[in-house]
Chains A and B, each alone.
Chain A
Amino acid sequence: MSIKVVIKRNTYFDSVSLMSLSTKANQIEGVEQAIIGMGTEMNKGVIRNVGLMTSEVEEATAGDLMIIVKTANAEQTESAYLAVEELLTNKNSAQAKSDIKYATIDSAVQGIPDANFAVISVNGAFAVREARKALENNLHVMLFSDNVSVEDEVELKTLAHEKGLLMMGPDCGTAIIGNTGLCFANAVRKGSIGIVAASGTGSQEVSVRIHDFGGGITQLIGTGGRDLSKEVGGIMMLDGIKALDADEATKVIVLVSKPPEASVEKKVLAQIKECSKPVVVYFIGGNEEAVVAAGGQFAKTSKEAALKAVLLAGIDEASINKRALNLPLIEEVRAKLSPEQKYIRGLFCGGTLCDESMYLAMEKFYNVYSNIQKNPDFLLKDISVSQEHTFIDFGDDDFTNGKPHPMIDPSSRIERFLQEAKDPSVGVIVMDFVLGFGSHEDPVGVMLPAIMEAKQLAEKEGRHLEIIGYVLGTDLDTPNIDEQVKKLVDAGVTHASSSTNAGLLAREMVLKGENHE
């Protein structure tokens, strides 16, 4: 063992820098342990407890920065210490540039004259003012904030349209611009497929499936959920299609949305006709004939949309693992469920993932309830109580009012999951776990205790409870998707390989012969 200690007198780094330096220093090759911290008596006591005390450490005072590097031998220690020194030097020179927080759009524009893009996430009361300011400064805008009136949305989008800028949002939670994920997005490879989406998790799912099938993304342009309403008229989706049509790197365009308002759908289809590139249209519950008549490629599911897009982009079909549905497993689960266990309960963080599973269930069952059902007859009367087949979007305003999105704060869903697991009429519970930028650091991990409790309870009561989990993410995402999937499988959860497969598995597992209720 070899230890090197350097004490830097009266040297101060802010806590964030110290933490990041310490993390990086511990990752240097050969380093068994690196400590970078202030030389307080208490810290020296800890160093003594872990057997690293030296005379230099003993002399450090509370205002001194201690750097302690432990490796296997003196040679390694010296080179590791040099690497730590380099980190410190780089931190010092980079700090001034990288950590600047601008208090206003105007000062940010002055400070970064080359900037051309603003991501805005402020209280809805101020969002319009800030977005307008950004557009007036010729910045493309992604507006994460919601609680913006339709009138203001139209005004902002009209201004952006006139200036040739993107106005993504309000309530736009997902985009990938220039290979950089913004807000909630996944790490996907660069490629030749562009996406315009009025749906956050829907576009995340399509981008992730494209990546899984070997394709890649040029840009993912979010529009905000209201863009295809009659009032807004699809301003951003139409401009998004034009932008991708003009983009040399984009060879194929995919549109993702819930079904647009009829007059807006006409405009979008007319734009598709004008488009020089193949366009795949995934409008959940949409009309195939109209899309085909406009020259578009219709996709009924997110998986189909991704598959069509990668094939159009020239990916060799033989190289694609299409992740077929596990039919023997369906039979196996059907045999385990009792006649009383007739219902699916879908508990989703992602609105479009919820929609997709729900629409797949609606193809077979008439009694499908939800807090986001379009048909008022099947809207849940009380969102805290499930009826028959129920699909809950925990990202809907009813659940997020004053609370973080369930992708960040899973507590509401955990509570509801345990409630559903106790219901003897439930055969299958299906859930999504979203990875990537902006999401929870361990979405499966926080759910595990509840999953185990539910499984034990069902077992005690002599029931088989089938839990299906879908992890939305790629091999490039953090946390590691394989580890997340392994946690699920180890807990006895059936892993679905896509949102589409999750919906199909749930639906097929509870089918009782001809009795489709």
Chain B
Amino acid sequence: MIHAISGDGYFLQQIGASGFTGMVHSVFTHALNIQSEANGEIFTLATKAMDNAPNTLIIDLDTLGNLHIHQHDRVSVQHDQLLIEDKVQIAMQTATRWQCQLPIFPTDQTCLKTNVVTVKQFINLHGKSGGMKRSNSSISEFEAETSRLLQQRTSLLREELMNQRFDHFQSYAIDLVGLGPGLTPSGDDFLVGLFAIIHLENSPCYIYKQLCESAINMMKPLTNAISYTTLKKAANGQVRESICSLIYSILYGTEADSIQALRKVLAIGSSSGTDIALGLISGLEANIKLGG
């Protein structure tokens, strides 16, 4: 019997309601995704190495590698236990509830202004290139073209925010979805960071919140189901714990706090963490320019 450690409130609610069923969608070393039969939504089981995240349940394991779970295995809930075929039983009573709670945008922006500069400098030095961050080494034609389009399209989106324009916000955002070869394409990751900032209450960019939420349906066919779920959650102000912590540190913490939190975000995926962080920075810079 495996014990659940913590879980996203919405996921716990889904499991608690009788009749949750699904299929294993994809399996990795530290996470496996389940596609709900009811609405096709993706939910994730993750090992202790991962942080809390929307639609995610953290379980008391170091690896999923030796459970012999395969794509299309059946998932069900019985007697407060999540079952994957007859291979895995997860006890749900032990799970504490986690809920993404984004901070409120501060009235005093002193910390924010200092920390944004520090964080940006750190990303320039230590961020992973290959996505939003240009690579200094020689790259293939495909990588160069991807990089060019990412730069061009994020610039357009940033300008739209900086000038508080609305006309093309959605189309520029949509043009980024699915751009990049990774499981979560760089364009998607950038938007996850940006959408999180847009959802900071009292911030100048908060006015774009409705546009994020309404654009998300148009994004569904443009990326894979795993990345879309993350994007959809971010478009509704729900992001993983390490991203919440980074935002909080930048808004209210010291430079050291910000760098410490940033390191955790930069460790996400290959270039995903860097791409997310650059999305955050773009949003925060727009907020600073627009005067908070």
Contacts and interface: CB of A to CB of B under 8 A. Distances in A.
B186 to A, nearest CB: 9
Contacts of B28: 12, 14, 95
Contacts of B136: 442, 445
Interface in B21-71: 26, 28-30, 47-49, 62-63, 65-66, 71
B177 A100 contact: no
A409 interface: yes
A12 B142 contact: no
Contacts of B125: 408-411, 440, 446
Interface in B119-157: 121-122, 125-126, 130, 136, 140-142, 145-146, 149
Contact of B270 (A10, A19, A99, A108): A19
B141 to A, nearest CB: 4
Given A40-B222, A46-B142, A100 B270 contact: no
A221 B238 CA distance: 47
A401 B30 CA distance: 33
Chain B interface: which size bin? 35 or more
B269 A14 contact: yes
A38 interface: yes
Contacts of A95: 28-29, 65
Most B CB atoms within 10 A — which of A41, A46, A402? A46
Contacts of A20: 270
Given A33-B142, A47-B142, A95-B65, A103 B49 contact: yes
A113 to B, nearest CB: 14
A101 interface: yes
Interface string A11-41: 0111110111010001000000111111011
A102 B142 contact: no
Contacts of B185: 38, 40, 42-43
B259 A43 contact: no
Contact of A15 (B29, B121, B184, B256): B184
How would you classify the secondary structure of chain B's contact residues: helix, strand, loop or mixed?
A: loop
Interface in B192-236: 221-226
A111 interface: yes
A363 to B, nearest CB: 36
Contacts of B146: 43, 46
A49 interface: yes
Contact of A63 (B63, B179, B225): B225
Contact of B182 (A18, A42, A103): A18
A124 B270 CA distance: 28
A107 interface: yes
Chain A interface: which size bin? 35 or more
B78 interface: no
A22 B121 CA distance: 28
Nearest to B125: A409
Nearest to B153: A42
B270 A15 contact: yes
Contacts of A26: 140
A13 B65 contact: no
A97 B224 contact: no
A15 B182 contact: yes
A404 interface: yes
A100 B126 contact: no
Given A38-B178, A101-B62, A19 B142 contact: no
Given A19-B271, A33-B141, A96-B63, A12 B178 contact: no
B279 interface: no
B160 interface: no
A73 B48 CA distance: 48
Contacts of A15: 182-184, 269-272
A12 B181 CA distance: 12
Given A12-B226, A41-B178, A96 B272 contact: no
A62 interface: yes
Nearest to B187: A42
A134 B255 CA distance: 32
B254 interface: yes
A18 B181 contact: yes
Nearest to B146: A46
Contacts of B63: 96, 99-101, 111
A101 B264 CA distance: 14
Contacts of B272: 15
B178 A102 contact: no
Interface of B: 26, 28-30, 47-49, 62-63, 65-66, 71, 121-122, 125-126, 130, 136, 140-142, 145-146, 149, 175-185, 187, 221-226, 254-256, 259, 269-272
Given A33-B141, A38-B183, A409-B122, 18 more contacts: A12-B183, A12-B224, A12-B226, A16-B269, A22-B181, A35-B142, A36-B181, A38-B181, A41-B222, A42-B177, A42-B222, A43-B179, A46-B179, A63-B224, A101-B47, A103-B49, A403-B256, A408-B126
22 contacts: A12-B224, A13-B183, A14-B28, A15-B272, A19-B130, A19-B271, A37-B182, A38-B185, A38-B224, A40-B178, A42-B149, A42-B177, A62-B222, A63-B225, A96-B66, A99-B30, A100-B65, A103-B49, A107-B48, A440-B125, A445-B136, A446-B125
